[in-house]
């Protein structure tokens, strides 16, 4: 297939997109875990009669898209559903021609794309072409690495116990989500950006808790000392994260044990297990490699800064 043979098809609701993208998501379920998990969660949410997108206040309607080759086969998929600024896209590997077509299509309809995340080089081409069309510049905000574990070595358990988070823990979980993102920036040598990264609310945290995907480590005296998430499988893949231990509880091996144990449970249940790390954080990369995770692909988060940016 040449880059000149591609076309784009947009979707404004998740189920039609999942039907169209099913083959490519099923063929590379680890690579597509973000798109699959976010979209299936949106589908569940809408089926339950709630649409959290209405609360986001984004200046555009969320969308999904597939890339088709000259024979009409779906060869890539992407989405713009991030509820946080600058509302970046997330894309599977896609032909450079498709990235340029997408940048042109969004520019033509007046939709300023503030960021493009996902597999390289397509996400970079999309951001760079968007910046050119809008008279701005592209900035690489963060590099990330996707890992998968086909086996795991679970370290010995420290003192305490692992338990699922309950609704009574919701405020703590929300606070730790926020601290996780701020400290991830600090550990990687970046200035913390309170407006960037994943955006969570008490309602979104409660959804995750009710799904049973948030886990805590409780010390023998009842102090909660750690948080890890393990998402519901989508196309047979569960993704670990976020993983957060407050500074005063680090150095005890809690995170390594919890991530290892959640990975073991997922594998035993027949799921494929994956997670993302920040490529600028050598500590987390070393920890997960030690558990048995192996790199799958490097990705990047790109920002588009233009005179029209909010």
User: Which residue from 304, 299, 233, 293 is spatially nearest to 266, judged by alpha carbons?
Assistant: 233
Domain ranges within the chain, ordered by starting residue: 3-143+301-305, 161-291
Q: Which fold has domain 161-291?
A: Aminopeptidase (3.40.630)
- The structure's pTM equals 0.91
Instruction: Classify domain 3-143+301-305 at the CATH class level.
Output: alpha beta
Task: Write the DSSP symbol of residue 234.
Answer: B
Whole-number Å distance between alpha carbons of 280 and 300: 11
All residues at 6 or more sequence positions from 296 whose CB lies less than 8 Å from its CB, including other chains: 30, 31, 145, 146, 147, 148, 274
- pLDDT for the residue 175: 96
- pLDDT for the residue 2: 44
Q: Judge if 3-143+301-305 and 161-291 fold alike in CATH terms.
A: yes
CB 297 within 8 A of CB 116: no
- 239-264 pLDDT tens trace: 999 999 999 999 999 999 999 999 99
- pLDDT for the residue 190: 56
Spell out where the chain has E strands.
7-11, 63-68, 74-80, 89-91, 115-119, 137-149, 161-164, 214-218, 224-230, 237-244, 272-278, 293-305
**Mean pLDDT, 10 residues at a time, the chain of 310 residues:** 78 98 97 97 95 92 97 97 95 97 97 96 97 96 95 97 98 96 70 61 94 98 98 98 96 97 98 96 93 96 87
Whole-number Å distance between alpha carbons of 239 and 274: 5
């Amino acid at each position: 297939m040449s880059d000149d043979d591609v076309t784009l098809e947009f979707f404004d609701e998740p189920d039609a997109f999942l039907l169209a993208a099913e083959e490519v998501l099923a063929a590379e379920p680890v690579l597509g875990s973000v798109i699959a998990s976010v979209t299936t969660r949106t589908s569940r949410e809408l089926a339950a009669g709630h649409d959290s997108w209405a609360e986001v206040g984004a200046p555009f309607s969320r969308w999904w898209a597939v890339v088709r080759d000259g024979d009409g086969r779906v060869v890539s998929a992407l989405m713009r559903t991030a509820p946080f600024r600058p509302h970046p896209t997330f894309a599977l590997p896609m032909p450079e021609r498709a990235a340029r077509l997408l940048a042109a299509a969004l520019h033509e309809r007046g939709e300023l794309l503030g960021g493009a995340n996902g597999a390289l080089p397509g996400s970079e081409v999309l951001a760079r072409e968007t910046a050119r069309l809008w008279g701005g510049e592209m900035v690489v905000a963060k590099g990330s690495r996707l890992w998968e574990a086909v086996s795991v070595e679970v370290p010995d358990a420290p003192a305490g116990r692992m338990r699922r988070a309950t609704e009574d823990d919701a405020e703590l979980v929300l606070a730790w989500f926020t601290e996780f993102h701020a400290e991830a920036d600090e550990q990687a040598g970046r200035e913390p950006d309170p407006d960037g990264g994943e955006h969570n609310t008490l309602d979104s945290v409660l959804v995750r808790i009710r799904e049973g995907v948030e886990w805590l480590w409780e010390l023998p005296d009842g102090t909660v000392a750690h948080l890890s998430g393990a998402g519901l499988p989508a196309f047979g893949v569960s993704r670990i994260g976020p993983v957060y231990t407050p500074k005063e509880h680090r150095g005890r091996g809690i995170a390594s044990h919890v991530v290892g144990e959640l990975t073991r449970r997922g594998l035993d249940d027949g799921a494929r297990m994956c997670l993302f790390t920040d490529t600028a954080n050598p500590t987390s990369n070393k920890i997960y490699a030690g558990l048995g995770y192996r790199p799958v692909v490097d990705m990047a988060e790109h920002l588009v800064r233009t005179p029209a940016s909010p």
